[in-house]
Amino acid sequence: MAPHLSALRADHLPDAVRQSSALGWPYREADWRFAFDLGSGFAAEVDGRLVATAMWWPHGESHASVGMIIVDPGMQGRGLGRALMGKLLHEARNRTVFLNATREGLPLYAQLGFVARGQVFQHQAVLPAEAALPAAPLACVRAMQAADSQSVRRLDRAATGMDRTALLDALLGAGTAMVVDRGTGLSAYACAREFGHGVVIGPVVASGAGGAADAMDLIAALADRARGRFLRLDVTEGSGLSAWLTAMGLPCVGHAVPMVRGVHTRAINVDADVGAGAGARLFALSNQSFG
C-alpha cells in the first residue's frame, strides 16, 4: 500500500519509540513526549503501521529546527524522507531552518537547499565514579535561580541568534541549570537533564574571552553530579572541547553536520555582540534535534 501522511499524534509515540530504538537511537517515550509537546510533525503509515516520522520546532517567527526524521529501513529509497521534509518546510514557511544531518541524510538536505556549517561531535560514556574532573571555582559557579531567567535568555539569543524561549523554558523546567556569575552579570549557563540512556549536558553557552574556561567549569560541575551514569554531550566544532572531553573519559563516538536553509543564515557558533552577551557562543547543543 502507498504510505499515508498525516499529522504526528500522541498515540503515534509508542510506535515512534520502537521505530527509533530499532535504528539504535536512544530516545525514551519521555524524550518523544518532550519533543512532541514542544513542536509538531508528520507521520507516514502503511496499513496503520507507523513507518516514518519528522518533526519541527519554531524558535520565534524567524527560525526553526527540524529533527526526529526517521524512516523504517524497509521503506527507505521511496521518497518518504523528501515528502516529510517538504511538509515540514511548508509549515516553517519563510523561517531559516536548522538541522543536524547524518551522513546518510546529507545528499537529500543539500538538494533541498541546506548548506553545511561545520561539525558537531557526539561524546558519551558511563562517567566513572573516579573520573578526574577539574575543580570548578565555587565562587562563581552556582545553581541557576529564578531571577536569572532573563539573563539566560539573553545569553542564549546572543549565542544562537534565535528566540528559543519556549525551548529554554522546557529544558530548564525538566533539568538542572548552573550559571557563571562573577557579580557583574551572568557570563555563562548550562543545563543537564534526563535523556536517552542517562543524562545529557546542554545547552552550554558562554561569553567573553574566558568563555571556553567557563564552559568547561559548568560541564565539570554538572558532570560531577552524573558520576557512575551514562553521560552525553554534543559539542560544536568551534567549541574546541572535543579533545578535553575525550581526556575526561567521554570519547567521541560520532559526528553530525549542522546545516541551515534560509535567508537569515548564520553559523550556530558565530559570536554576537548583544549587551552582556558580547561574544556569546554555543558550546554544546541541547540535543541534535533541537540544536
Report how far apart, in Å, the C-alpha atoms of 263 and of each of 56, 107, 165, 291 are: 18, 20, 22, 19
Domain ranges of the chain: 4-94, 121-284
Coil/strand/helix, residue 151 = helix
pLDDT of residue 270: 38
Residue 10, burial from CB neighbour count under 10 angstroms (0-12, 13-18, 19+): exposed
Number of other residues whose CB lies within 10 A of the CB of residue 165: 14
Predicted confidence band of residue 133 (pLDDT cuts 50, 70, 90): confident
Predicted confidence band of residue 266 (pLDDT cuts 50, 70, 90): very low
The answer to whether the beta carbons of residues 52 and 77 sit under 8 Å apart is no
Predicted confidence band of residue 148 (pLDDT cuts 50, 70, 90): very high
Q: Evaluate if residue 259 carries a pLDDT over 60.
A: yes
Tens digits of residue pLDDT in 12-26: 999 999 999 988 888
Classify the C-alpha dihedral 16-59-289-277 as positive or negative.
negative
The answer to whether the beta carbons of residues 283 and 239 sit under 8 Å apart is yes
Number of other residues whose CB lies within 10 A of the CB of residue 117: 21
pLDDT of residue 139: 73
pLDDT of residue 52: 95
For the domain covering 121-284, report its CATH number.
3.40.630.90
How far, in Å, CA of 120 to CA of 252, rounded?
A: 10
- Looking at per-residue pLDDT, the higher value among 125 and 48 belongs to 125
Tens digits of residue pLDDT in 197-235: 999 999 999 999 999 999 999 999 999 999 999 999 999
φ, ψ at 70 (rounded to 5°)? -130, 130
Tens digits of residue pLDDT in 88-123: 999 999 999 999 998 889 999 999 999 999 999 999
How far, in Å, CA of 170 to CA of 232, rounded?
A: 19
Q: Evaluate if residue 277 carries a pLDDT over 70.
A: no
pLDDT of residue 264: 57
Q: Evaluate if residue 274 carries a pLDDT over 50.
A: no
Q: Homologous superfamily of 4-94 in CATH?
A: Gcn5-related N-acetyltransferase (GNAT) (3.40.630.30)
Averaged confidence pLDDT in the chain:
91
How far, in Å, CA of 126 to CA of 196, rounded?
A: 13
How far, in Å, CA of 149 to CA of 135, rounded?
A: 26
Nearest by Cα to 285 from 195, 220, 183: 195
Q: Which helix (H) or strand (E) element contains residue 157?
A: helix 149-160
Same fold? 4-94, 121-284: yes
Nearest by Cα to 201 from 186, 189, 211, 210: 189
Strand-pair partners of 125: 231
Q: What's CA 280's distance to the chain center, in Å?
A: 17
Return the exposure string of 204-229: e unless at least 16 CB atoms fall within 10 Å of the residue's CB, then b: bbbbbeebbebbbbbbbbbbeebeee
pLDDT of residue 273: 38
pLDDT of residue 268: 44
